[in-house]
Chains A and B, each alone.
Chain A
């Protein structure tokens, strides 16, 4: 990992290529960026495209490094368009990251904020303002993990912050709405597209007739679910409505819903050191990178 930012070599190569091609700030075709990365770093476009999308979408990272224009997929799990149909340029954070990589400013704590969970690693993300605030204040606490997607994070959080390996439980945000439950946020790593069918799968079962022939569908014992509607849109985000039996205990129904995969998923996580140690040992050098990031995060 790169010391000034904590980014991986493929990520640095992509950010560098975006800067090379979009020097004047005008977006360039992602396919051109991928071709440049293949020429300069030998990383094939098929692999690099996945990484570039991860670096640019707000449901993977708190601090996207590039801006993407076009269909870059969705938090629901929809795939992006082909790279020739999407354009990109550096985000303000990407500009800072590249400056830090080139030694023009001090390190920027991107690894402390976004961790590695967004790319399938074991380090969960934290709230950017809390991390930057802790570093500026010399504090040893930046709070608990916060996912860019929203959703809940539970488990042995004290153990995680102490640097021990833990299994975190990542869950959807579920709100009562009238007599229904509505899922509005799906945690990093879970595909929202799968949720409606999974809820239906858990709430029905097949039974054979007395002669053992054929199957018919019946409600599964204990299921409070009458129906599921996916009202998610690109504009309004995730909204999966779970219609319940009239008079259902909403807390019990929410517990039932949380047991459905992937309404709740697990992630094996471990920080490279305790959070206090990561914050105190982080090398800020002259502090210019940290202060520049703090300025960007100001509302």
Chain B
């Protein structure tokens, strides 16, 4: 599971100091061990946008604080695949360790 490029991207961003919560299909994969996400979805708090943008730039992706704060839901293309960024309040998360890195993973919402 750890060699999927969505997970590699999450690990890289975390190693570079970005703070975010993994949501969507990749979160389900991390929590429950199944699923086939084709991109990485993350929620980032407003105060963490600058850190995420800095990490993305180090990975060669084009992103700006202004665009993320203005548009709130932004797709960023990276060499690890598309990253969907949602600027919002951090959801409740648990920690999942991947490749020695702790990832914050959203807890599934109750029905």
| Assembly CA distance A215 to B59 (angstroms) | 12
Interface of A is mostly: mixed
Q: Is the CB of A200 within 8 A of B60?
A: yes
Q: Is the CB of B78 within 8 A of A206?
A: no
Q: Which residues of the partner chain A approach B79 to less than 8 Å between Cβ atoms?
A: 197-199, 201-202, 260-261
Q: Is the CB of B58 within 8 A of A261?
A: no
Q: Is the CB of B38 within 8 A of A194?
A: no
Contact of B16 among A198, A201, A206, A259 (CB under 8 A): A206
B contact residues, total (Cβ < 8 Å): 15
| Assembly CA distance A202 to B8 (angstroms) | 10
| Assembly CA distance A200 to B79 (angstroms) | 9
Contact of B82 among A197, A205, A261 (CB under 8 A): A261
Instruction: Annotate A262-288 by CB proximity to B: 1 below 8 A, 0 otherwise.
Output: 100010100000000000000000000
Q: Within 8 Å of chain A (Cβ to Cβ): is B84?
A: no
| Assembly CA distance A266 to B78 (angstroms) | 14
Residue of A nearest to B61 (CB): A201
Q: Which residues of the partner chain A approach B60 to less than 8 Å between Cβ atoms?
A: 197-198, 200-201
Q: Is the CB of A202 within 8 A of B80?
A: yes
Residue of A nearest to B6 (CB): A261
Residue of A nearest to B81 (CB): A261
| Assembly CA distance A266 to B79 (angstroms) | 14
Q: Is the CB of A194 within 8 A of B77?
A: yes
Q: Within 8 Å of chain A (Cβ to Cβ): is B5?
A: yes
Extra inter-chain contacts (15) besides given A201-B79, A259-B5, A261-B5, CB under 8 Å: A167-B38, A197-B60, A197-B79, A198-B60, A198-B78, A198-B79, A200-B60, A201-B59, A201-B61, A202-B79, A205-B12, A206-B58, A260-B79, A261-B79, A262-B77
Q: Could you give 14 example pairs across A and B, Cβ below 8 Å?
A: A197-B60, A198-B79, A201-B59, A201-B61, A202-B80, A215-B58, A259-B5, A261-B5, A261-B78, A261-B79, A261-B81, A261-B82, A262-B77, A266-B38
Binding site for A on B (CB under 8 A): 5, 12, 16, 36, 38, 58-61, 77-82
Binding site for B on A (CB under 8 A): 167, 194, 197-202, 205-206, 215, 259-262, 266, 268
